[in-house]
Amino acid sequence: GTADLDCDVLVLGGGPGGYSAAFRAADLGLKVVLVERYATLGGVCLNVGCIPSKALLHVAAVMDEVGHLAAAGIEFGAPKVSVDGLRGHKEKVVGKLTGGLAAMAKMRKVTIVRGYGSFVGANALEVEETTGSAQDKTGGKKIVSFKKAIIAAGSQAVRLPFMPEDPRVVDSTGALALQGVPKRMLILGGGIIGLEMGTVYSTLGARLDVVEMLDGLMQGADRDLVKIWQKMNAKRFDNIMLKTKTVGAQATPEGIKVMFAAAEEGGTTPEPQTYDLVLQAVGRTPNGKKIAADKAGVAVTDRGFINVDIQMRTNVPHIFAIGDIVGQPMLAHKAVHEAHVAAEVIAGELQGNQELASSAFNARVIPSVAYTDPEVAWVGLTEDQAKAQGIKVKKGLFPWSASGRAIANGRDEGVTKLLFDDSPEAHGHGKILGGGIVGTHAGDMIGEIALAIEMGADAVDIGKTIHPHPTLGESIGMAAEIAHGSCTDVP
Ligand code: FAD
């Protein structure tokens, strides 16, 4: 035909979904072409998401921790912050990881085509060559023909239509670029991304306001945990505006003036405020409408998502989709697991391997983590969700004020909370339905609760599992014992 390149499987997008799919497919012996518009692999997560945010959050947490040492008799001087130095550190971290990906792609003989991809048929993609660090098109074009395709084109930040075009209005990418430290900063949207970036900027010296339409920060997390987070972080905020909409904004010489309104009738409307920096963190929108999916016959929803079945297959049987573009939760670890499923199904079908061809995404739960200070991590049902679904639960709540390790760390504000099925059919041996942790290192511990849910563990299974002492992870065993009623030595 007229194709410049052909392959078994075309992967559109080089983020955690795309590179994971490409690598698995190549490992399974397929000829893979990966199309990415930017110069580096890694997508949002490695370049402008998970990794750079954690590089900055780590530094912020250490800075805060050093402050706490005064209580232990050790005092340091005020920190000297070099924004350039910190930005350089972040860029080095990102470069190490994206460089590693490039090497892994080469090792696996994955062909990377640099450019902007759009479907031109059910078995062909046109790639418009891009250049520089941006996605500027050079005019060069290539056609890649494929037997099967995996769409992993990801998502991008939502922009409020009334926000002025101004360097003082940024999304998460702009905030991570770290152009300086503002005096007053507005976090627009009280979700994980906004609060993580807020944590970094406030530790560096910014005063924060946060505005959220709903009635609480960190929607999705258990309210018992969020309450503790909020108490520990109160000092960062001048103003936490809940049930409040942002209705307008205007660039002035003094800053960005932002107008608010009560989200509910009868609510209070805060006065307009002027900020040195406004971070828009009101959600992300999938890139489904930008890839000419219709030319391949792939259906895209009004909001830009691509629906798939549990094998990650779109309405077109030989085209698959994974990651942020297929729906919530928009998380890298979800994208990676979906990627492996799509690659395996494709390899199985092309090679007549029944076992691979029957691969499916059937995770019971997907954990979420806010890498703030303290961290908040949760998985499975929350107490409110169980209540809303009419499920009777038994809870075990272990306060870290009873954890030797947390006290030794000088950070005993945490809580570990587990929920078990307490319906009559469970006969007192109900399985774990969900769990959450607020406290330092919560994100590193939530995997154990996810495993317990996947394995169908009950409170005895978890409580009788010997956890090392003294660790924060012990709190999971203790919470299970409390739920089971076999723990009496805790306040
Ligand atoms: P993406 O990472 O969005 O990758 C899509 C890729 O496709 C991009 O590289 C894009 O350039 C490319 N592309 C799109 N269209 C085309 C086209 N037409 N042609 C060529 N290339 C194209 N998740 C976590 O699990 N943990 C975290 O701690 C975390 N922190 C985050 C922090 C921030 C600030 C943000 C914004 C996100 C964070 N996320 C986190 C979410 C995570 O980044 C995403 O869930 C993940 O990147 C999704 O992977 P993906 O492969 O679906 O898409």
Regarding beta strands 368-370 and 255-262, do their DSSP bridges make them parallel or antiparallel, or are they unpaired? unpaired
* pTM, full prediction: 0.97
pLDDT in tens, the chain (491 residues): 578 999 999 999 999 999 999 999 999 999 999 999 999 999 999 999 999 999 999 999 999 999 889 999 999 999 999 999 999 999 999 999 999 999 999 999 999 999 999 999 999 999 999 876 666 777 799 999 999 999 999 999 999 999 999 999 999 999 999 999 999 999 999 999 999 999 999 999 999 999 999 999 999 999 999 999 999 999 999 999 999 999 999 999 999 999 999 999 999 999 999 999 999 999 999 999 999 999 999 999 999 999 999 999 999 999 999 999 999 999 999 999 999 999 999 999 999 999 999 999 999 999 999 999 999 999 999 999 999 999 999 999 999 999 999 999 999 999 999 999 999 999 989 999 999 999 999 999 999 999 999 999 999 999 999 999 999 999 999 999 999 986 555 54
Q: What is the pLDDT of residue 491?
A: 45
130: left (phi over 0), alpha (psi -120 to 50) or beta: beta
Q: Which amino acid is at 224?
A: D
Give distance in angstroms: CA of 43 to centre of ligand 1. 5
Which is the closest atom of ligand 1 to the Cα of 329? 45
Q: What is the pLDDT of residue 428?
A: 87
Name the catalytic one among 58, 429, 441, 469.
469
Give distance in angstroms: CA of 102 to centre of ligand 1. 17
**What does 379-421 look like in DSSP terms, one character per residue?**
EE--HHHHHHTT--EEEEEEEGGG-HHHHHTT----EEEEEEE
Nearest CA to ligand 1 atom 12: 13
Q: Is 442 exposed, middle or buried (0-12, 13-18, 19+ CB in 10 A)?
A: buried
Q: Note the ipTM here.
A: 0.99
Residue 470: phi and psi, rounded to 5, are -100, 120
333 an active-site residue? no
pLDDT in tens, 178-191: 999 999 999 999 99
Q: Is 449 in the pocket of ligand 1 (CB under 6 A)?
A: no
Three-class secondary structure of residue 227 per DSSP: helix
